[in-house]
């Protein structure tokens, strides 16, 4: 596996291969959810590139950034074992040589004011900035992202349209533990007991109302809830709870860790 920290070196390597490129952007602390994206990329493209970059511009909460798990050596080992061809793990100054004060902004419309956009101001602008920069560096044929971050996929699709990009966005299903907990790097901050309490999210998808879902989360140790929402899976516009086809999304705090998840009912 080739390893790069400089954009210029990554680019000269990728251009020399002349192969179709699949790209998987991550923030590291890799788990089976990330590796499923690498697997999908390997099936669809000749060369798979993964990036590991904890992007400061997408954290609206500084303590979330400070506590974000960093496990670079273990990540590199997992990527090697997964058969990833190249990994890019730039420094903050490599990604933002002119600092982060004056960055490009994207007209994301209502996507930025609902759900995650509402509770994490600036988050999606930061996501767009970094994905746009990474795409310029990697110039992939296909981009692989997880439905665990459902709204992020819609935002990145919008960014691709705004930038007239020809990159194809491939959506991959959420990978869960055997019990149903959506895998997430932030789960590393949960105790074993909290991981069991967190299953209230997965079980809650089967409850028939928003208030029953919220009540169950609170009874299972969640300290606060940003939202439980029911939307149309295509437009992300709110609709009556449980009326199919729909997507139920949740964001809630357990032990100070913000967990998100979603499930589609077709
Ligand atoms: P992150 O490192 O959390 O920024 O995630 C990097 C990519 O992995 C994003 O496209 C996520 O949606 C995806 N991802 C994270 N967790 C999962 C999961 N449990 N299943 C599938 N994809 C995931």
Short-list 181, 174, 186, CA closest to 200: 181
Beta carbon of 185 within 6 Å of any ligand 1 atom? yes
Q: How far is CA 32 from CA 95, 191, 216, in A?
A: 26, 19, 28
Q: What is the pLDDT of residue 27?
A: 98
- What is the predicted pLDDT for the residue at 108? 98
Mean pLDDT of the chain, nearest integer: 97
Task: Please state the atom number of ligand 1 nearest to the C-alpha of residue 37.
Answer: 22
* pLDDT tens digit sequence for 41-86: 999 999 999 999 999 999 999 999 999 999 999 999 999 999 999 9
Q: Tell me the pLDDT tens digit for each residue of 3-33.
A: 999 999 999 999 999 999 999 999 999 999 9
Pocket test for ligand 1, best of 22, 27, 28, 37 (most atoms within 8 A of CB): 37
Task: Calculate the CA 262 to chain-centre distance.
Answer: 13
Q: What is the rounded distance in angstroms from the CA atom of residue 52 to the CA atom of residue 75?
A: 9
Task: Write out the catalytic residue numbers.
Answer: 34
pLDDT of 202-236, one tens digit each? 999 999 999 999 999 999 999 999 999 999 999 99
Is residue 130 within 8 Å of 53, Cβ to Cβ? yes
Residue 2 CA to residue 79 CA, distance in Å, equals 11
CA distance 264 to 266: 6
Omega before 146 within 30 of 0, i.e. cis: no
34 CB less than 6 Å from ligand 1? Answer: yes
Q: How far is the CA of 256 from the centre of ligand 1 (A)?
A: 20
Which residue among 33, 123, 171 is best mutated to probe the pocket of ligand 1, counting the most ligand atoms within 8 A of its Cβ?
33
């Amino acid at each position: 596996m080739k390893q790069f920290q400089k954009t210029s070196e990554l680019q000269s390597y990728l251009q020399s291969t002349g192969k179709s490129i699949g790209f998987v952007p991550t923030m590291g602390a890799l788990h089976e959810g990330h590796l499923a994206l690498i697997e999908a990329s390997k099936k669809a493209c000749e060369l798979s590139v993964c990036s590991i970059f904890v992007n400061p511009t997408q954290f609206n909460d500084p303590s979330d950034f400070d506590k974000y798990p960093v496990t670079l050596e273990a990540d590199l080992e997992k990527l090697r074992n997964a058969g990833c061809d190249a990994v890019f793990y730039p420094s903050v100054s490599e990604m933002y040589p002119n600092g982060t004060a004056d960055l490009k902004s994207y007209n994301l419309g209502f996507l930025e004011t609902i759900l995650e956009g509402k509770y994490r101001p600036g988050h999606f602008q930061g996501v767009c900035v970094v994905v746009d920069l990474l795409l310029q560096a990697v110039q992939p044929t296909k981009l692989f992202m997880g439905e665990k971050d459902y709204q992020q996929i819609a935002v990145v699709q919008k960014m691709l349209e705004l930038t007239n990009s020809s990159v194809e966005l491939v959506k991959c299903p959420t990978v869960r533990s055997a019990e149903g907990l959506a895998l997430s790097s932030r789960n590393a901050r949960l105790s074993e007991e909290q991981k069991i309490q967190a299953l209230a999210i997965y079980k809650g998808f089967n409850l028939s109302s928003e208030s029953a879902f919220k009540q169950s989360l609170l009874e299972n140790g969640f300290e606060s809830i940003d939202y439980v929402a029911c939307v149309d899976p295509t437009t992300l516009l709110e609709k009556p709870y449980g009326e199919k086809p729909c997507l139920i999304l949740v964001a809630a705090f357990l032990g100070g860790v913000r967990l998100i998840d979603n499930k589609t009912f077709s």
